[in-house]
């Protein structure tokens, strides 16, 4: 029988919540102006794993000013999920799925609205990887 995942999401920069465990930022770029040695204290995450962020190319071709449009978001998220099927992201997702079966982890991004953020999609991909495992 599979163990339930201890998997959460968070917004980078917010204070940790009880039970979130290891907080992994999955953004393309780290927070600006915060040195690496102060990420945990000031940006409030434990490590940064950019391989799970949308590619620079995907971000560049997605019109930010039109992201409120459902069709634009759907294309963006579909492209993001395709990117996550590449070898390195897929392996990182499998690793996080295995970790979340053993210890609490959280994946985070800067977005304030999780429903419009890649972390919600990433969480689903990790959950899916745990089922396949």
pTM: 0.91
Which value, in Å, is the radius of gyration of the alpha carbons in the chain?
15
Answer yes or no: is pLDDT of 84 > 90: yes
Mean pLDDT of 94-108: 97
Of 20-24, 38-42, 98-102, 108-112, the poorest mean pLDDT is in 38-42
pLDDT of 87 reads 97
pLDDT of 43 reads 77
Structure tokens at 80: 């993001």
CB-based contact 67:111 (threshold 8 Å): no
**Cα distances (Å, whole numbers) of residue 109 to 4, 24, 30, 80, 133:** 23, 9, 10, 14, 26
Answer yes or no: is pLDDT of 69 > 90: yes
């Amino acid at each position: 029988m599979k163990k339930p995942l201890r998997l959460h999401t968070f917004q980078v920069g917010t204070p940790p919540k009880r039970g979130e465990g290891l907080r992994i930022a999955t953004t393309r770029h780290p927070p600006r102006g915060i040195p690496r040695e102060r990420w945990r204290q000031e940006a409030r995450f434990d490590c940064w794993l950019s391989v799970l962020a949308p590619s620079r190319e995907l971000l560049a071709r997605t019109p930010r000013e039109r992201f409120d449009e459902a069709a634009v978001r759907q294309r963006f998220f579909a492209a993001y999920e395709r990117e996550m099927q590449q070898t390195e992201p897929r392996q990182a997702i499998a690793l996080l799925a295995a970790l979340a079966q053993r210890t609490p982890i959280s994946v985070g991004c800067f977005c304030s609205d999780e429903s419009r953020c890649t972390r919600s999609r990433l969480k689903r991909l990790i959950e899916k990887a745990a089922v396949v495992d």
